[in-house]
Structure 1
Amino acid sequence: MTMLAGMTRPPAPGTVLIYAARKAEPEHERVVHFELGKRIAGILGAPFGGAYREGVEYKHPVYLIPTDTLIGTELARRLGVNREEDLFGGVAPQTFVPTKAITHGLLGPDAFAPEGWSHEFSRLVHESVLEGITVFSIGDAQRAGIRLLRKGPVRIKPVLATAGRGQTLISTLDELTALFEQMDNRRIAECGLVLEENLDEVETFSVGQVRIAGLTASYVGTQCLTQDNVGEMVYGGSELTVVRGGFDQLLELELSRPWRLAISKARVYDEAAAACYPGLLASRRNYDIASGIGWGKAPRCGVLEQSWRIGGASGAEIAALEAFHGDGRLNAVHAQTIELFGSSPRPPSGAKEIYRGIDPQIGPISKYIRIAPYGN
């Protein structure tokens, strides 16, 4: 943000800008967003202007990188975003749409839901997600918990939490009651809460697509967990196989059966969102798919949530796009992001550091990007 200090006029035409779409942003994410903003500007052949400033009259088109999904076409148009080519990220019609709340249906047809809720979406994705229920009141949450606990342990997921934080696993009615006694009913009514089948022996896949400057890249890969500075297991990076083109081109590669299943489920979710939530647009689409052992010891696989904003895997996405941009003959690469906690991380071989510091909220953390030829 200090990059714009002293500026008295709008940036040059086509300038790439970071738009702060969240009230607060962790220091490590802010720094990484600026680094990736410079790389996106390089792909676009445009200058990078740092942070978008309210009150500045931008006379020329700008390319925005919002730190979260923009909510509402009115805001998007005010910022100059009218199509997906105007931003890296997405625009959603209502606040709940870009959260994990839409992944599951409601407790019943008469359950409370926010304006704009699509019952059709949950019907379309039913076979592509795990078993679960979304609620918008404590009463519905209690009833949903009682219903789901009959089948096995239930994972309680705040819809705005990221990197696996804030989730609670419950196995008994006493645990359910104790948890909901601590919750804010108003917060649940505003944002929603997800109750979902718990999986053991979990592997999490990432499926996504990014589009910048006429380039399209699609990918599938795996996520890993790592121990943060307080001992909690959180997101530790993504290892992706990225192809130039769409999902059809991705499926032309020699992919494992689990990866092909993950792609099929992500495509159903992606197409249903576009069909059921008019006004949704996104140049960056990412879906987390979990595979593991669910209730009754049955193998299960389903989409957990979506991300239509710059995210944890975006370093790998941008590195792949840079490679495709630089070599028109290149059609596939391996790309990886790595996050390590602690003050003395061991840098991965061949990786480029994009952040190292002590974040005021989570302590010491380092982030890396690594790219390799496809086939290695």
Structure 2
Amino acid sequence: MDSFHYESVGLPSPSETVGKVITCKAAVAWSPGEPLVIEEIKVDPPQKMEVRIKILYTSICHTDLSAWQGENERQRSFPRILGHEASGVIESVGEEVEDLKRGDHVVPIFTGECGECAYCKSDKTNLCEKFRVNPFRSVMVSDGKTRFSTKEGKPIFHFLNTSTFTEYTVLDSACVVKIDSDAPLKKMTLLSCGVSTGVGAVWNTAKVQSGSTVAIFGLGAVGLAVAEAARGRGASKIIGVDINPNKFIKGKAMGITDFINPKEVVDVRLHQKIREMTGGGGVDYSFECVGNLDVLREAFSSTHDGWGLTVILGIHASPTLFPLHPMELFDGRRIVGTIFGDFKGKSQLPLLAHDCMCGKVNLDEFITHELPFEKINDAFRLLVDGKSLRCLIHL
């Protein structure tokens, strides 16, 4: 088994790395907004209930972008290794890790599943009491320390339970999902965050039914994953809303039937335009994938009186509260948020991976660019300029 992985993914022999500090390359964010610096770092061995992974592929989403830009004061722990969408193989495991072993093909997840707490045992939530997503945590759960350091010994902080912009990373085992070894690791990278969140919002949170009408606000990777899943569920009308007209071409290939550029809607409010397009009633489901309160307001107002459901997927960093009067909920419209598409990561993500392999979700359309690790700053620029959905980084 070890020789197989050595030949196929470059996994070192156990005698070279297991139980030892690994020196490798990482893209380090030293301060907000400054280009990432690729340099040699040290990665400690995994401790109890931890796993060390050799990252093969990683990608960038807007959450990485927001953290890099330092949009939230409480997130400003630097130097830091960002990244949370990735795939790779396990190099070594810490004590008491029983469900994972060296050589397993895995994807990291930013919101973990310990399997033991009351939350994990409940079918009402996918949150975990101990390992749920926490954007402000920058150290390991077990001892409050980092597993990364510079060659001089200066600590480098973690990000979103994952930190994937590095050749090797250390995660809590609750945040590592084993997938079928036959699954293409390049594509499986997308399941760490964006695609799973969008697909799960349709399948698990909204439970979109055949013949339903849907409006998607924001056609990034998450929004287009919503479209792909809604098409698969037989939605009769899928309205895509975005100010970037280039997104419409990609959206059509992923199931969107109608498009709206808000900049071109001048005579009526956006939600009124959507109601007109659906016979006056509004859509059955709206999905807000932007993280903007004004957009969220329009998404909520665009749903059908009596049963409309709005699902929030965008990250709202602003402290400003949502302008909603409680009496508006008496009209039957509902609003709910979703984390990771309500998937329980370790127990349910392997099933999603299988569905993707069977063609139920087309992952190919999401990978718009591929670059080597050394050009990771170019990948950030592609996202900032709205030119990429997912740029896959090869390590």
- Give the TM-score taking structure 1 as reference length: 0.29
